[in-house]
Chains A and B, each alone.
Chain A
Amino acid sequence: MARNSPAQQGNATSNGDVHRPVKLACRNVWKIFGNGAEDFISRHGGNASASDLVSANLIGAVRSCDLEVRQGEIFIIMGLSGSGKSTLVRCMSRLIEPSYGKVEFEGKDLLSISTEELIEIRRHRMGMVFQHFALLPHLSVLNNIAFPLSIQGMDRAKREARAREMIDLVGLSGREHFYPRELSGGQQQRVGIARSLSTNPEIWFLDEPFSALDPLIRREMQDELIRLQGVLKKTIVFITHDFDEAIRLADRIAIMKDGEIIQIGTPEQLVTSPATDYVAEFTRDVQRAKVMSARSLMQKPGRAKCAGTVAPDTKVSSFSAEIVSAGKPFSVVSGSGEAIGEVHPQAVIDLLAGIDRSAVNP
């Protein structure tokens, strides 16, 4: 399988690796559209029910959102269209002002900083990719990618050199002087990605970047993203309405519905312990072997002889064939070389066959 380093590294953090610092956090963030929205929510002290909103004739696009994005992880916000994902991510980058709540960037309140500071942060530390690419129609590929640098006042030779580096990175060499309308959708989004990376941002927002692309291209772009993240190790906030995409890319996923976050967790946590029926509905068709790790099938070490060893965070799908043909348990060995448990072939077969024995969890 093509998914290698980033995903597996990601899984090291996945079970809530609290040692990594928090890059960006939302604390009880609300965004309400309609007349007198700010008044309304502060009058309610940052806590209003859906029916309150309806009776006040307001739209609660984002309601009471709490989340923490940690350094270097791929944090995915998943939800159906209209669930408030774009609004939330725009609050996180302060493209729109939240009606209530706090957004903290490295512990600093993003909402209280001055316009100049905000511009400074956006110029050097944030990047964003858009669903419909948002390329400037009057600029060539090269100039589009160099644009964020040019408005910082970087001189021409330097910014073009950097832009060419980015073009190589996303594999568009030879098309420097094309105009956006002359490129296919996938190529345009590569330009969008290159452009958002040209300033070497620390945190990278992607708002449904692949949703406008054909399924095949989408897969290719997902692989590309995994590859890039392997090299770049950014903090990523990725929006999608496609649960499979979320599963493929995520370290952690936040599921949104009607403006609220219903559950935040690793793909594995969502699959094994969905918080609501709504989440369970999404996870039902997921191939569990690709999501679940050895750790979750692990039992206490027994007497039986083991046919092999696996790391606790290895995905079941990557050793399922071996263990089933061996017919014997594999030992689960932690980083320090200590055997912390074992996985039985029957558990793997149950998982593959979709037989639910919730008791398998230790």
Chain B
Amino acid sequence: MSSITENTLRGENRTLGGWSLIWLGASVLVLMLHLLRDVFPVAVEYPSAFVIPFSEWISAIMTWLKVNLTWLTRSMTAILDVPLSFALKLLAKGFKFGHGLEAWTLPRLSWVGVVIVAFLAGRAAGGLKLGLLTGSCFLYVALFGKWTSSMLTLGLIAIAVPFCIVTGLFVGIWAWRKPWAERFMVSPALDLMQTMPTFAYLIPMLLLFGNSPVSAMMATAIFATPPMVRATMLGLSRIPSEISDFSEMAGCTRRQKLWQVQLPSARPTLMVGVNQVIMLALNMVIISSMIGAGGLGYDVLLALRALKVGNAMEAGLAIVAIAIALDRLSQAMAAKQARGNVHQDQQERSIFQRYPNLILAIAALVITTLLSFAVPAFAKVPPEITISTARAWKDAVTWVTINWFDVIETFRVTLILYVLNPLRAFCEGFPWAGAVFLLGLAGFQLGGWRLAVTVAVLTTFCAATGLWEKTMATVYLCGISALVACLIGIPLGLMASRSDRFERFLTPIIDTLQTMPSFCFIIPVVMLFRIGDVTAMIATVAFAVVPAIRYTNHGIRQVPPSLIEAAKVSGCTRTQTFFRVQLPVALPEIMLGINQTILMALAMIIICAMIGTRDLGQEVFIALSKADAGRGIVAGLSIAFIGIIADRLFNAWSSRTRARLG
């Protein structure tokens, strides 16, 4: 057995020199292809005669679906609309009855009551401090005049999230029980769903369900389900086998085993999934404002379209406030469940003693809402106490543009002229056959034939759809952004890993960056750099820098202390220990961070289509505005494939490095 591994190891070593030669040869080959582009035009530009009309096929299917499934989509809309419009009315719109003069309304939940509930929920889950945080987040939204929009957003989330959780739970259980389903259906589907750009979800929903909150909710539900599926599978597979054995020995039926033993034991992991679902749902609800979700996302969208940066900023900050409140709240709930509760006999206490916070919350809602019949200030945030910062933001921007115009403009133009444009030209002119060859080669080196074929086929797809140039435009912008994000993030992570103080300083910042929906990153950058590639790049770097920091820090910190001690004992200096021991051992983890950074950059680049990039994102965006399903989905798939290729290659690389480290 050991001799076999030894042989393969030695074999690998022998071919290592071989691989560098192969790579050299391959690069020369592709370079020649590049230079001789006029001789082999077919290999450089995908011949238009051979473009496979995927988009027409998909459009045809969608049209067929639309025509033949109207009964289904209509009835689904009707059914889903019931809870959704109830939630929206309850939180934001109020209930209207009757028509004309006889019409009367029941008011929505009073904002005062909701703020109190937010406070109570925070306090119950994480103590007074968290209560104050969540309470003031909601108060902030109210005082800055974004109450109705926020509640529209929240209403959608409130309906979409339980849907995601339940679906995710059941799919996760099924996939966990049936390994073939996990391998051949669920895992690939999850990979695709998580690399598909958010916009691409909107198109089929728009076609099937029209421009309405229901289709926004459907898109949100589909987009936000994968983490729950993953968390369920992970949680269930991590249960100690003794616990499962115990449930068998206690004589549990299959159902009792699942619901009374396994799922409760997996609860901490499941709660992590719930937190992720909430955050993704928020992100998606904002983006689906394009297909009728309304709410805060719509405010941002309108403001951006009208280039009212001040208003956009205000709405964006409200999103951030909601995001922070929801994130901290769900995290605290997860932690609290893991900690357990007080030692008291549940049975011998009254309902009131058992659920004091719940009762208080209901009371607060009922009383304030009843009061709002009499006191208008409870029904609607009175304009006198709201604060608008739009003006201030606008002034600030004006000031900056007047005083700093030269600096910013020089920076922008230089970047475009000397870095971005040449790179773009290089990428867009890259021969597709060369790319297929090089990526396939990389796949073969890192993961063998299967990976090579997967990568080559996916790359060919991007060319065969006739979208090669736009694909490469995406690769260029995503690549440069990810590179810059890594150049910033990895050193920051390294610094954080070497200094506890710096880590404490950095943690809240990256936590906040991570909670912010992708939309929000665009706004401040647009204010300074207007629209275009530079803005897209800066927003993407800000969005994608977090995993690079986080994984680097974590990777270095989790190097076993015994290794470091061993290095010290053998006389390494601090620097030597770092470069010879910590960095190599942490390398696989850092590579996973880079992988995450690339995927996040890709997601963000697509959203930046809103501010006028010319790439696959733009393609999806146009398709969305024309409701052209085929075009949008094909472009979406190309984007997803870029992500999957990068992900597979990096994962293979990372696990190879890990294997070598042992």
> Which positions in A face B, CB cutoff 8 Å?
90, 93, 95, 119-124, 126-128, 130-134, 136-140, 147-148, 151-152, 176-179, 181-182, 196, 199, 205
Complex Cα–Cα for A170 and B535 (A): 69
Task: Please tell me the number of chain B residues within 8 Å of chain A, measured between CB atoms.
Answer: 22
Contact status A131-B248, CB under 8 Å: no
Report how many A-B pairs have Cβ atoms within 8 Å: 70
Q: Check A138/B264 contact, CB under 8 A, given A95-B248, A123-B250, A128-B249.
A: yes
Q: Check A178/B343 contact, CB under 8 A, given A134-B243, A136-B243, A138-B264.
A: yes
Contact status A134-B246, CB under 8 Å: yes
Interface flags for B150-162 (1: CB within 8 Å of A; 0: not) read 0000000000000
Q: Which residue of B lies closest to A192 (CB)?
A: B246
Complex Cα–Cα for A124 and B252 (A): 12
Between B251, B261, B264, B337, the greatest number of chain A beta carbons within 10 A of the residue's beta carbon is seen for B251
Contact status A137-B249, CB under 8 Å: no
Complex Cα–Cα for A196 and B245 (A): 13
Q: Which of A120, A121, A123, A130 makes the CB contact (< 8 A) with B245? A: A130
> Which positions in B face A, CB cutoff 8 Å?
240, 242-243, 245-246, 248-253, 256, 260-261, 264-265, 267, 337, 340, 343-345
Contact status B343-A177, CB under 8 Å: yes
> DSSP majority for the B interface?
helix
Complex Cα–Cα for A151 and B245 (A): 15
Contact status A132-B240, CB under 8 Å: yes
Residues of B within 8 A of A205 (CB): 249
6 A-B residue pairs with CB within 8 Å: A120-B251, A136-B261, A140-B343, A151-B251, A177-B344, A178-B343
Residues of B within 8 A of A182 (CB): 340
Contact status A152-B251, CB under 8 Å: yes
Residues of B within 8 A of A130 (CB): 242, 245-246
Residues of B within 8 A of A181 (CB): 340
Residues of B within 8 A of A95 (CB): 245, 248-249
Between B253, B256, B340, B345, the greatest number of chain A beta carbons within 10 A of the residue's beta carbon is seen for B340
Residues of A within 8 A of B256 (CB): 151
Q: Which residue of A lies closest to B241 (CB)?
A: A134
Complex Cα–Cα for A127 and B245 (A): 11
Complex Cα–Cα for A129 and B586 (A): 40
Residues of B within 8 A of A128 (CB): 245-246, 249
Complex Cα–Cα for A140 and B344 (A): 10
Residues of B within 8 A of A134 (CB): 240, 242-243, 245-246
10 extra interface residue pairs, beta carbon distance < 8 Å, beyond A95-B248, A130-B246: A119-B251, A119-B252, A122-B249, A123-B251, A124-B251, A134-B243, A136-B243, A136-B261, A138-B267, A152-B251
Residues of A within 8 A of B261 (CB): 136
| Least Cβ–Cβ distance between B40 and chain A, in angstroms | 49
| Least Cβ–Cβ distance between A69 and chain B, in angstroms | 17
Residues of B within 8 A of A124 (CB): 251
Contact status B248-A122, CB under 8 Å: yes
Residues of B within 8 A of A139 (CB): 264
Q: Check A122/B240 contact, CB under 8 A, given A136-B261, A177-B343, A181-B340.
A: no
Complex Cα–Cα for A122 and B240 (A): 20
Contact status A122-B245, CB under 8 Å: no
Complex Cα–Cα for A132 and B340 (A): 20
Complex Cα–Cα for A119 and B265 (A): 21
The 9 closest A-B pairs by CB, nearest first: A123-B251, A177-B343, A134-B242, A122-B251, A148-B250, A134-B246, A128-B249, A138-B264, A179-B340
Contact status B245-A90, CB under 8 Å: yes
Contact status B252-A151, CB under 8 Å: yes
| Least Cβ–Cβ distance between A198 and chain B, in angstroms | 9
| Least Cβ–Cβ distance between B439 and chain A, in angstroms | 35
Contact status A122-B250, CB under 8 Å: yes
Residues of B within 8 A of A152 (CB): 251
Complex Cα–Cα for A135 and B353 (A): 28
Complex Cα–Cα for A123 and B252 (A): 8
Residues of B within 8 A of A93 (CB): 249
Complex Cα–Cα for A336 and B550 (A): 80
Complex Cα–Cα for A178 and B339 (A): 12
Complex Cα–Cα for A288 and B493 (A): 63
Q: Which residue of B lies closest to A148 (CB)?
A: B250
Residues of B within 8 A of A196 (CB): 249
Complex Cα–Cα for A138 and B250 (A): 17
Complex Cα–Cα for A133 and B245 (A): 11
